Amino acid sequence: MTVVSQDTQTTLERIALGELDLLEASIGLREVDREFSGLDARAFCLVKIAALIALDAPPASYAWQVANAQAEGVSAEDIIGVLRAIAPQVGGPRLIAAAPEIMLALGLDLPESAE
C-alpha cells in the first residue's frame, strides 16, 4: 500500500464523493474556460455533457456536469435534446451507457431492469 498524507487521502475521498466545490478548485477555473469558448453558460454545459457521452465518461463525471448544467438553467429536456442531436455521431451503445448516468445525476430512479 502506498503511504499518503492524511490531507491527500481526504482530498481524494472528497473528489470521489463528487464534492463540487473541491472539484472546481482542483480541475480549474470553469468560468475562464467558458469565456474563452465564446459560448453562453447553457450551451457550454450542454457541449460538455455531449463530450462526456462521446467519451463514455465515468459515472461521477455526469453527476458533476449535470449539476453544473442545472445551475445554469439547463433542463432535463435540454439534455434529451443533446442525446438526440449526437445520436448519429456517437451511436446507440454510448447513448444507452449514458442514459442511466444522466438519470442518476438528475435524481431519477433507474428502471428495474437497468439496476
Return the domain boundaries, the chain: 6-114
The 10 Å Cβ neighbour count of residue 95 is 15
More confident residue, 71 or 14: 71
| Total-model pTM | 0.72
pLDDT at 106 over 70: yes
CB 102 within 8 A of CB 62: yes
Q: Average pLDDT of 15-28? A: 62
The predicted structure's pLDDT at residue 38: 82
Contact indicator for 27, 19 with CB cutoff of 8 Å: no
Q: By three-state DSSP, how is residue 19 classified?
A: coil
Output the nine-digit C-alpha cell for 63.
453527476
pLDDT at 4: 80
Q: Per this entry, what is the length of the chain?
A: 115
**HSE of 21 in the Cβ direction (CA atoms, 13 Å)?**
0
> What kind of fold does domain 6-114 have according to CATH?
AhpD-like (1.20.1290)
